[in-house]
Amino acid sequence: MAKTPDVTIENGQMRLVIASDGIAKSLVFKPTDTECLIQGKRVPVSTITMPRPYQNEVKLAYPNKTTTFKSNAIRQEGDKLVISYELVPWEATVSVKVAEDYLAFTLEALNLTEAYGITMTEPPISEMWFLRLPVRDLGHWGDWLNVLWNDELAVNVLAADPCANADSEEGEGYRVMQAGTDGQVKLVGATAALVTCAKDDLLDKIAIVEEDYGLPHGVASRRNDLYTASYYWTAAVNPTNVDEHIAYAKMGGFRLMNIYYPAFLESRGYRLIGNYDVYRKEYPNGKADLKAMLTKIKAAGITPGCHFLHSHIGRDSKYVTPIPDRRLNLLRNFTLAKSLGETDTTVHVQQNPIHSTMAGNRRVLKIGTELISYEGYTTTPPYTFHGCVRGIDNTTVNAQPEGYMFGLLDVSEFGATSVYLDQYSDLQDEVADGMADLWDAGFEFIYFDGSEGVNPPFWYHVSGAQYRVFHKLKPEPLFAEGAAKTHFSWHMLTGGNAFDIFRPEKLKEETIRHPFREAPRMQDNFTRLNFGWLGYWVPNEETIGTQPDQLEFVTSKAAAWDCPISIHANPATLGPHPRTADNFEVFRRWEDVRARNWLTDEQKQMLRDADQEFILLLDEEGELELVPYEQIMDVAGGSKDVIAFTFERKNALYAVYSHISADKKLELPLKPQDLVVLESMGEETEATAGEGADTTVVPVGNRRYLKTSTSIKDELIAAFGNARILDL
């Protein structure tokens, strides 16, 4: 019998060879004749996983547990691959599209080759990988985009529709890059693309895949002029104060304004109202007023975006009260072991409630028309939920018979003020319709908050929920960000994510712990993240408040990786803060850097030093100048009221200093002739002699500079340490 030939698939970029026994054999990048696969590992090109064996002889011969079966034969029939597997009589049919810039694989069918001996029409498969390639380590691994690359080439297995799962498994010196399907989503009809190309061409190739398969334009978004722009975030803007918000945004050089939905919809905090026609009183004409406000923001040269909790439903929403919607997600299902009367405070169930949540306000049962909280439950028969409070959240109390089925409500783990909807229902589409109507008022980018709030499988539903909203937004968003991401999200969340706010005293430390460490990983995925959100604190007895050096630190480290920041802004805190002008000048200068693409590669590498801080100056000619600087840790005998740094430039020693909240004087043990006070570079004023011998008094309030003839930095540091803070 003649041996079945190997399968070879190729275009101008690559040549893929699969051995006839179902093993991935070779992937060559043709322009440089580079082999991309690890050799000698015998990795099957496809696998199918069953929750237990179903074919009778296999079931009898092997343990009944989750079992994975490897491909052991493959043949090519026209533009289709037919794959067989060890032990089980199933064949997969995978169609192949050979395009100039990629190869596309679509799982078309799963067919039995012999009778099971049981009645079954659906494939008993929980997971299936229809493409698996052991790509050797190339130096960079992008876990979100699912790409391996070095300076010469890139290998990318990319989902070309939301139902294709693209992922990898780590090996020693290689990764098995794979694409497949999931029985909880759909088993056939999913498509993935294989891109093998020069590294610098990767985004061009992905853009073609996105266009060919009607995907969101993730590549185009990453090439938008606003892609690295930071944004001014607000939950307080409305038609009566929008001019004030615009003024602050322009003060900080922000080209984007992100508006949280409670700014225009009635809402009480971390929840989605569900009633999209319920506008705040500041919008008496509803959507028309919203549209007019967004038009005004655009006229000021600022692009408006919106921030939604797209998968959350507020517990005060029409979807929850007075009758909870059937499409709210349930974590577990139970059966009443006894009938439930309208006044009963114990719920008897057939199933063991063990591991049902005991967290705060998340202890909620959804039974018919009401929500019921419980105090606890038993984990030995008879099983009960006890200490129940009936009709919480103003829901409608009801009675139900023995045998009635109900569930444990999926209440958000963040504050328990919202619940998650069932992604297998059409409720997400209904919410998306409301968001699309609001989008039509003139928003241009979007933040998908609460993206983790979906039911499993998370690889599908996180991006799936985003996509069910995204594809209804016309025109398509310029870019998007989100609280959580999975592989398909790459086409939408071109801005990655933002971290929640950190307090001023911890901001630098937490920046290094979180966004700074994530930034290189995001760069490996050919994308960026947002180094915000930044909070804004007014100095008081409990905090030094938000200060220029903190913002200088975060936004400079962000710029090192071509990333933006974002600021939670409200005139109620911006106005009373005595250093808002200095703080927003920091933003303005760094946004100028981003807008002009001013940083060189060498400067970006310098900024990536986690231990070195930098200040962005305006020199004597008003041009940007980047200088490393070091904080003076002991000022005025350990006072926290004055912040000072030293730096050197143009063969001179400087200090930059400010008071956190007041206008005072600072007496330094230095001679007046040794110091010059500068409001800005080139704007010099003479220092004033102090009352003591060889002392100088300088103003301390907003950010100023000292230029000194003292050439020894330790002397300047010691002078600040021995300084005295004086009242005006």
Domain extents for the chain? Answer: 7-215, 231-313+422-491, 330-409, 504-611, 628-726
Sequence-ordered list of residues with C-beta below 8 angstroms from that of 247, at least 6 positions apart, any chain = none
Domain 628-726 listed as CATH 2.60.40.1180 = yes
Confidence grade of residue 280 (pLDDT, cut at 50, 70, 90): very high
**What was the pLDDT predicted at 435?**
93
- Which residue did the predictor score with more confidence, 304 or 54? 304
- Same CATH topology for 231-313+422-491 and 628-726: the answer is no
pLDDT over 90 at 691, yes or no: no
Q: What's the rounded mean pLDDT across residues 405-411?
A: 98
Is it the case that residue 272 has pLDDT exceeding 60?
A: no
What's the mean pLDDT in 360-381? 97
3-state secondary structure of 278: coil
Could you tell me which residues are beta bridge partners of residue 70?
47
CA distances from 405 to 339, 366, 513, 609 (A): 11, 10, 46, 58
* Backbone φ and ψ of 571, nearest 5°: -55, -25
CB atoms within 10 A of CB 538: 17
* Cα→Cα distances 524→134, 147, 199, 210, 360, Å: 19, 8, 11, 20, 40
List, as one string, the DSSP characters of 599-635: --HHHHHHHT-TT-EEEEEE-TTS-EEEEEEEE-S--
Q: Check pLDDT > 70 for residue 2.
A: no
SS3 state at 62 = coil
Cα–Cα distances (Å) from 673 to 54, 103, 676, 688, in that order, read: 92, 74, 8, 9
Pairing of strands 624-631, 613-618: antiparallel
Return the CATH number of the domain spanning residue range 7-215: 2.70.98
Q: What separation, in Å, do the N-terminal and C-terminal C-alpha atoms of the chain show? A: 101
Which range has the worst mean pLDDT, 449-458, 508-517, 711-720? 711-720
Which amino acid belongs to residue 427?
L
* pLDDT for residue 268 is more than 90: no
Which sign, positive or negative, has the C-alpha torsion 106, 109, 110, 114? negative
> What integer is the mean pLDDT of 269-277?
52
3-state helix, strand, coil in the chain (%, to 5): 20, 35, 45
pLDDT of residue 269: 46
Report DSSP state, residue 640: S
pLDDT (average), residues 250-260:
98
Evaluate if residue 406 carries a pLDDT over 70: yes
Please give the average per-residue pLDDT across 238-243, as a whole number.
Answer: 98
pLDDT confidence of residue 531:
96
Per-residue pLDDT at 658? 98
pLDDT of residue 103: 98
Burial zone of 287 (CB within 10 Å; 0-12 exposed, 13-18 middle, 19+ buried): middle
Give the residue from 625, 632, 580, 581 showing the smallest Cα distance to 603: 625
DSSP state of 588: H
Q: How far is the C-alpha of 503 from the C-alpha of 223, rounded, in Å?
A: 33
- Looking only at the bridges linking them, the beta strands covering 330-335 and 675-680 are unpaired
pLDDT of residue 191 exceeding 80? yes
Q: By mean pLDDT, which of 165-169, 676-680, 692-696 is the weakest?
A: 692-696
Give the total residue count for the chain. Answer: 728
Q: Give the pLDDT confidence score for residue 642 in this predicted structure.
A: 97
CATH topology of domain 231-313+422-491: TIM Barrel (3.20.20)
Q: What does each C-alpha distance from 317 to 56, 284, 427, 623 come to in angstroms?
A: 51, 21, 13, 53
Across all residues in the chain, what is the average pLDDT?
94
pLDDT at 270 over 60: no
Q: What mean pLDDT comes out for the span 659-678?
A: 93
- Report which of residues 657 and 316 the model is more confident about: 657
pLDDT band at residue 690, thresholds of 50, 70 and 90? confident
**Which segments within 301-404 are labelled E, that is strand?**
303-309, 312-314, 330-335, 347-349, 364-367, 370-373, 376-377, 383-386
Say what the pLDDT of residue 289 is: 97
The alpha carbon torsion through 583, 587, 593, 595 (nearest 10 deg) reads -160
Residue 641 pLDDT > 90, yes or no? yes
State how far the Cα of 693 lies from the Cα of 617, in Å rounded to an integer: 33
Say what the pLDDT of residue 694 is. 86
From edge to edge, which strands make up the β-sheet containing 683-686?
Answer: 613-618, 624-631, 642-649, 652-659, 704-708, 675-680, 683-686
Task: For residue 73, give every residue at least 6 positions away whose Cβ sits within 8 Å of its Cβ, in sequence order, or none.
Answer: 4, 20, 21, 22, 83, 84
